[in-house]
Chains A and B, each alone.
Chain A
Amino acid sequence: MDLLEIRQLSLNFSGIVALSDVHMAVKKGQIHAIIGPNGAGKTSLFNCLSGVYVPTEGDILVEGKSIIGLKPHKIAKLGIARTFQNIELFANMNVIDNLLLGRHIHMKSGPFSGSFFIGKTLREEVKNRLKVEEIIDFLEIEKVRKQLVGSLPYGIQKRVELGRALTMNPKILLLDEPAAGMNLEETEDIARFVLDINEELGITILLVEHDMGVVMDIVDEITVLDFGSQVANGSPREIQANPKVIEAYLGQEE
């Protein structure tokens, strides 16, 4: 069974068609890319997956179970984590707190026990802090641990956002343009992290990216969207040679 399956998905905004009849499947353990021109509906698709938008039609199955109509926090519990196209960090918290928020679904303390901060709550905080420190190590952001994220450089913010998604221990990680606005060096770092996450942590990754260098080099499979509908699906090599894709998206190589 595929880990994630999207069936005949359509999404309209009062007349504007964002997605129409999209169907695709993501296999467990793969890195799957979605590419397409601007406004093709990639981010909208992610929003449907994480429950921010409710699709007009169609179905989304995670491990065979439909997640249509579920609130975002429920979907998060099912193991879907994501990053955003425009960084959506909690700007007034420091890095540790941002990552700890990622642990929200794995923690239990409520308002009463939280007010006292002894016993179980304390133990829980410390335990999750350990987990967070692991991720911080993994992403090499030890230096900025206690800084407010708002004041961090763009590249580091993107990395923190990635970290926040990782602390959720997801099954599927949705990355929306992780390399946008990055220089070469940072893009390389991100590419490396994506591969590591996939290989070492075994997390399935769904990736939206305009940097064809990254996409073609690291992903296993690509789905191409245009005007909300799917135009192609296949391995990087196939996609690169697909005339439809070249015409709508890649452009002629000069």
Chain B
Amino acid sequence: MNTEFMFFIQLVVSGIALGCLYALIAVGFVLILKATGIMNFAQGEVIMLSAFICYFLVTTFHVPFLVAVLLTGIIAGLMGIVTERLILRPMLGEPIFSVVMVTIGLSIFLRSMAGILFGHNNLVFPSPFPTEAVKMGGIVVSQTEIWIMLSSLVLAAVFFIFFKYSRMGLAMRGTADHQDVALLMGISVKQVFALIWAVSFITAAASGVFLANVMVINLGLSVVAIGAFPAIVLGGLESIPGAIVGGLAIGIIENLAGGYLDQIIGGGVKDVTPFVVLFLVLMIRPYGLFGKKEIERV
């Protein structure tokens, strides 16, 4: 096969892998957005903290990797519940702006706590995935990436089905619409929120663990979450399939921009392209690809 074509395919494939990571991060955001309408700015910090926790479980406490992942998930879930309980529940019924600001405060707090607890050094995770990449017909995929792709797709499918068909999922969607009416339906809004924060933080933990496997662990890890913003919005904020499609699209776009545009325009267009694409898409579809147009009636 022609090398130019292989180059393209390889870019797309690695873009998909990257995109799945974005999608996983995006799903974490979308869960909370969907049920509470809050954009949780501290999500990136949770991702970073999870990476640190998993690292220290594996290196300092010599916990086997899978157990460490499990423990990280549990810790993150508990963190989610505690966050909801201590910080967001008192804000029930307050303007959404203030709540979002609280999550920004939380992100500042968590980032700084991470520095205090885990130090500022760059750490390298002893990845359990073999470094040998898998080669299929000349296409190279690392084993880490295969795991990332599988788990993000599985998680997204699970969440999608949960929201669409389960009783609790329906309750969550209802809560997102009107909290007080949901209460009148006998839905325990507190429970719903605690659950959604826990689940979202667990998703964040999953992305944190995967990120730890591909990147250096340091406080800067939390910034990756900002990279996922275009994915969330492109997909349409409250849609799980949207988050997946958005994530994949951004991953592929980023890589193609890196592979082609960077040669022509130069100067690192790779980073800006997702944002430019996002802007253009919003001009055409103001509610993202999968977002519902907010109906306004008077």
A and B touch in the complex (CB under 8 A): yes
Q: Which A residues are closer than 8 A to B by beta carbons?
A: 43, 47, 52, 84-86, 88
A101 to chain B, nearest CB (A): 16
Q: Which residues of B contact A43 (CB under 8 A)?
A: 298
- Give the dominant DSSP class at B's interface: loop
Q: Give the docked Cα–Cα distance between A192 and B298 (Å).
A: 25
Q: Which residues of A contact B298 (CB under 8 A)?
A: 43, 47, 52, 84-86, 88
Render B273-298 as a binary contact track against A, CB cut-off 8 A, 1 for contact.
Answer: 00000000000000000000000001
Q: Give the docked Cα–Cα distance between A105 and B298 (Å).
A: 21
Q: Give the docked Cα–Cα distance between A84 and B296 (Å).
A: 13
> How many residues of B are in contact with the other chain, CB < 8 A?
1
Chain A, residue nearest B298 (CB): A84
- Give the dominant DSSP class at A's interface: loop
Q: Which residues of B contact A88 (CB under 8 A)?
A: 298
B294 to chain A, nearest CB (A): 15
Q: Give the docked Cα–Cα distance between A52 and B298 (Å).
A: 9
B149 to chain A, nearest CB (A): 36
A54 to chain B, nearest CB (A): 14
A48 to chain B, nearest CB (A): 12
Q: Give the docked Cα–Cα distance between A85 and B298 (Å).
A: 7
Q: Give the docked Cα–Cα distance between A86 and B296 (Å).
A: 12
Chain A, residue nearest B296 (CB): A52
Chain B, residue nearest A47 (CB): B298
Chain B, residue nearest A88 (CB): B298
Chain B, residue nearest A46 (CB): B298
Q: Which residues of B contact A47 (CB under 8 A)?
A: 298
A240 to chain B, nearest CB (A): 30
Q: Which residues of B contact A85 (CB under 8 A)?
A: 298
B153 to chain A, nearest CB (A): 32
Q: Which residues of B contact A52 (CB under 8 A)?
A: 298
Chain B, residue nearest A13 (CB): B295
B77 to chain A, nearest CB (A): 38
Chain A, residue nearest B295 (CB): A13
Q: Give the docked Cα–Cα distance between A52 and B297 (Å).
A: 9
B96 to chain A, nearest CB (A): 15
B154 to chain A, nearest CB (A): 35
Sampled A-B contacts (7; CB under 8 Å): A43-B298, A47-B298, A52-B298, A84-B298, A85-B298, A86-B298, A88-B298
Q: Give the docked Cα–Cα distance between A47 and B297 (Å).
A: 9
Q: Give the docked Cα–Cα distance between A47 and B298 (Å).
A: 8
Render B141-166 as a binary contact track against A, CB cut-off 8 A, 1 for contact.
Answer: 00000000000000000000000000
A120 to chain B, nearest CB (A): 34
B295 to chain A, nearest CB (A): 10
B298 to chain A, nearest CB (A): 5
Q: Give the docked Cα–Cα distance between A224 and B53 (Å).
A: 69
Q: Give the docked Cα–Cα distance between A86 and B298 (Å).
A: 7
Q: Give the docked Cα–Cα distance between A88 and B298 (Å).
A: 8
Q: Give the docked Cα–Cα distance between A43 and B298 (Å).
A: 8
Q: Give the docked Cα–Cα distance between A84 and B298 (Å).
A: 7
The 3 closest A-B pairs by CB, nearest first: A84-B298, A88-B298, A52-B298
Q: Which residues of B contact A84 (CB under 8 A)?
A: 298
Q: Give the docked Cα–Cα distance between A122 and B298 (Å).
A: 34
Q: Give the docked Cα–Cα distance between A16 and B128 (Å).
A: 57
A141 to chain B, nearest CB (A): 23
B242 to chain A, nearest CB (A): 21
B251 to chain A, nearest CB (A): 33
Q: Give the docked Cα–Cα distance between A84 and B297 (Å).
A: 10
A13 to chain B, nearest CB (A): 10
